[in-house]
Amino acid sequence: MKNLIDAADERAEALDRLILREADQQLIGVDAGDIVVLEDSSAALTLQALSRVLDESGTAPRVLVRCRSYQQAYALRVLAHRLLEGQGKDAAARLVVAGLDTEALDLEAALAECSLKPTLALGRLPKTLAALDDWGRALARHSAQTTTDFSLCLGGNTKHMTRTMNTVLEQSFSEVWAGRGQGKFRALLARVPRQSVLAHTAEETQIPAGTLQGLGGVFSGGREDRGGSYLADIACDLLSTLDRPADGAALRVLDLGCGNGSVSLRLLHRAQERGQPLVLTATDLDADAVRSATQTLAPYRTGEQSATVTWDDAAAGSAPGSFDLLLLNPPFHEGTRLDATMVRPLLDAATRLLAPGGRLLLVHNSHLRYRAQLEDRFEEVEQLGRNGTFTVLSACNPL
């Protein structure tokens, strides 16, 4: 237990300490129950929650962690399991990481899958109101059916908090209020889940290829991203020129960083119009992107044009040389900070994943000048398109 607490103390940031202080106040006089941890970037909240539930041997409560980032979720689980060594064979079973230890990525479905009865959920406020609504409704719907005492405690930077956040949570909880601030931070708290709360619904946009759907905090919501739209235009035009694999099988396509699935949807639709067999894998690091793309691409679960959606880190679960065409619309912001290096691991993955003769299509904001990075990794690089904002490059033959 001491290992968990010491590690939590070492990792805790000022915001974590405020969240834990406020959460402890909510647990006074409440019977022990399961704990939900949301978006724990430092791991301090998870480790403190684990130390609490491991003190409860009779009811054996658990901690469910839900992170949007696959990297963050995987690293957190590895750290926790290492610190739990020597705590007994059942200690690791007290931690459940949604999407890794459950089939479900959706918070409400993961809670139901594990039959958890949480008395507390704590974490950092999400960046979007849609994600906050998603969490609030999931927790309220589940808790209204399974527990009598439940509290939610989410902390954030005061300058980024608005009254609208209270309004969003008031759709799911009868009592919502802000805690006392500490430095730059304060917590938003809620309790008493409302009855008959409706589930969070996807933002939808109808385009000629089908219906785009956006859940939670997915980038661009249920709308078509402008860079992705330009990439899809060129990829669809290119489709007619691509040779089918020599064995006559369907063209194998990877949408690396698929977001809400808009590029995949348009390519599948074009292949269907042409009667061209196509097997597409859409993958993303972001759990909300995967949930969204799964709904967007639902019409293509089976058939000559079919899609599979995976939660993964740069398609690490796919075998080398698995794809004939790879589509990439990479992120270049970490929060509000521009980071042009975020493309590097994705380009490295592309060199591993392309089959002989395969092609990478990359769209980027023209001012980022990614061409040199492609030329470091591929023998053939050419520009296929450029408009006022975006450039699409093609790359073949990894070095």
What's phi and psi for 177, nearest 5 deg?
A: -155, 160
Q: How confident is the model at residue 111 (pLDDT cuts 50, 70, 90)?
A: very high
Cα-based distances in Å from 45 to 20, 150, 183, 362, 375: 7, 18, 19, 38, 43
Torsions phi, psi for 217 (to 5 deg): -95, 25
DSSP structural state of residue 201: -
92 close to 84: Cβ distance less than 8 angstroms: yes
Question: In angstroms, rounded to a whole number, what is the distance separating the alpha carbons of residues 318 and 323?
Answer: 9
pLDDT of residue 374: 95
CA gap 154, 179 in Å, rounded: 10
Sorted by where each begins, the domain ranges of the chain are 2-193, 203-398
Give pLDDT tens digits for 260-314: 999 999 999 999 999 999 999 999 999 999 999 999 999 999 999 999 999 999 9
Q: Residue type for 232, please? A: A
The pTM assigned to this predicted structure is 0.94
CA distances from 242 to 275, 366, 377 (A): 14, 26, 22
Q: Do domains 2-193 and 203-398 have the same CATH topology?
A: yes
Where does the pLDDT of residue 338 fall: very low under 50, low under 70, confident under 90, or very high at 90 and above? low
Tokens of 127: 């960046």
Is it the case that residue 342 has pLDDT exceeding 60?
yes
Token pair 């970037």 in the structure block, residue: 41
**Average pLDDT for 218-231:** 95
- Reported as a pLDDT band with limits 50, 70 and 90, residue 203 is very high
Residue-level pLDDT at 234: 97
| R_g over Cα of the chain | 23
Say yes or no to pLDDT of 152 above 70. Answer: yes
pLDDT band at 1 (very low <50, low <70, confident <90, very high): low
Q: What is the pLDDT of residues 366-398, one digit of tens each?
A: 888 889 999 999 999 999 999 989 999 999 999
Read off the pLDDT band of 30 (50, 70, 90). Answer: confident
Write out the E strands in the chain: 34-38, 63-66, 95-97, 118-124, 151-157, 173-178, 185-193, 203-207, 210-214, 251-256, 278-284, 305-311, 323-328, 333-334, 337-338, 354-365, 378-386, 390-398
Please report the pLDDT score of residue 334 as a whole number.
57
351's enclosing H/E stretch is: helix 344-353
Residue 131 in contact with residue 123, Cβ under 8 Å? no
Domain 203-398 has CATH 3.40.50.1000: no
CATH code linked to domain 2-193: 3.40.50.150
- Mean pLDDT (the chain) is 93
